[in-house]
Amino acid sequence: MRIHKEGFRVLLIVLVLFGAICALIWYYLGNVALCIAIALFTPLYIFMLRFFRTPKRVVNTDLEKVLSPCDGTVVVIEEVDEPEFLKERCIQVSIFMSVWNVHINWFPIMGEVVYHKYHPGKFLVAWEPKSSTLNERTSIGVKRSDGVQILFRQIAGYLARRVVCYTSKGSNAKQGEEMGFIKFGSRVDLFLPLNSTVKVNIGQKVKGTQTAIAVIPLK
């Protein structure tokens, strides 16, 4: 299992901290207490290793498909007004990422990053509808070669208090390429043109780079 670069520092700090705690426990309380501490810590550390895992996935690119930007569960499919970038009526598809999901984010389409903005904010639970506009988030707009534009947001949640984005305005967006990471439970919103054909349902489990969220016809 490969570990994502965002996990190296966290995992090292936790390991060193636990090593120091174990040394103190052994010194003051003896071997039995040390064994109990190790038994309690080991599952937690395995969970953290799993959280920061990097899966191996083959991406089959398709200009018309919008691939899932993350692993998770579809929690919203609705028509909304998107005032930040698209500034028009569109289809919102929201995906909730639990602590058990891979937390890497990938580009859902191919094109150019034409909009990028970080918004500081609150840390409401990620499934709360208002988290889309009130929580800490990063908004990324991508424009396809035929002029079609979509917006997607990385949204921090109650536990996820750090959104990491690797792209910037003017960068090339390669479908299925890693573009960011959200730490510990979060959400990603997609805003698509009204002529998109949504291919998922509310409650459906999706896999980043593998599940087609929608199809947007080429112009």
Residue 44 has pLDDT above 70, yes or no: yes
Residue 186 has pLDDT above 90, yes or no: no
pLDDT band at residue 133 under the 50/70/90 scheme: low
Q: Can you give the pLDDT at residue 124? A: 54
Computed over every residue of the chain, the mean pLDDT equals 88
Mean pLDDT of 133-161: 83
Residue 131 has pLDDT above 50, yes or no: no
| Rounded-to-integer distance, Cα 38 and Cα 56, Å | 31
Q: What confidence tens digit (pLDDT) does each residue in 54-99 have? A: 888 999 999 999 999 999 999 999 999 999 999 999 999 999 988 8
Q: Can you give the pLDDT at residue 132? A: 55
Which residue out of 68, 131, 132, 186 is catalytically annotated?
186
| Rounded-to-integer distance, Cα 73 and Cα 89, Å | 24
- Select the more confidently predicted residue: 157 or 140: 140
Sequence length of the chain is 219
Residue 169 has pLDDT above 90, yes or no: yes
Q: Are 196 and 210 in contact (CB under 8 A)?
A: no
pLDDT band at residue 136 under the 50/70/90 scheme: confident
Pick the closest to residue 63 from 140, 141, 146 (CA basis): 146
186 is catalytic: yes
Pick the closest to residue 181 from 32, 8, 62, 22 (CA basis): 8
Dihedral angle of Cα 71, 74, 78, 81, to the nearest 10 degrees: -30
Q: Can you give the pLDDT at residue 126? A: 46
3-state secondary structure of 198: strand
Q: Can you give the pLDDT at residue 54? A: 86
Q: What confidence tens digit (pLDDT) does each residue in 193-217 have? A: 999 999 999 999 999 999 999 999 9
Q: Which tokens go with 164? A: 């990491």
| Rounded-to-integer distance, Cα 47 and Cα 32, Å | 24
Q: What is the pTM of this model?
A: 0.85
Q: Can you give the pLDDT at residue 216? A: 97
